[in-house]
Amino acid sequence: MKHVDEPPGDAERGLDRVASIAVLIGAICTVIAAATIWLLVTDPVTVANAVNEGQISPLVERLAEVLYNAIAGLLRYL
């Protein structure tokens, strides 16, 4: 139910914002998933040790390193 003072396109703008945030979250999740798969393929020992020992910090460090190297390589290319 609309209020009299509400602008006519306010609901559409709100949905556009929600859709933009959903796309941003989806893009971030896709990048993290791709980096995790890349790490699993290129450095399976680190992943296996992290899973076996239950320690996430070595996996997160390697994941951050992979993402950093990818972004640095992309910036060097540009």
pLDDT by residue (tens digit) across 4-15? Answer: 565 666 667 778
- What is the chain's alpha carbon radius of gyration, rounded to the nearest angstrom? 20
CA atoms within 13 A on the CB side of 34: 8
- Tell me what percent of the residues of the chain surpass a pLDDT of 70: 86
- Predicted confidence (pLDDT) at residue 25 exceeds the cutoff of 90: yes
pTM higher than the cut 0.85: no
Q: Which helix (H) or strand (E) holds 50?
A: helix 44-53
Predicted confidence (pLDDT) per residue in 15-24, tens digit: 888 888 999 9
User: How confident is the model over 50-61, as a mean pLDDT?
Assistant: 82
Cα 73 from chain centroid (whole Å): 18
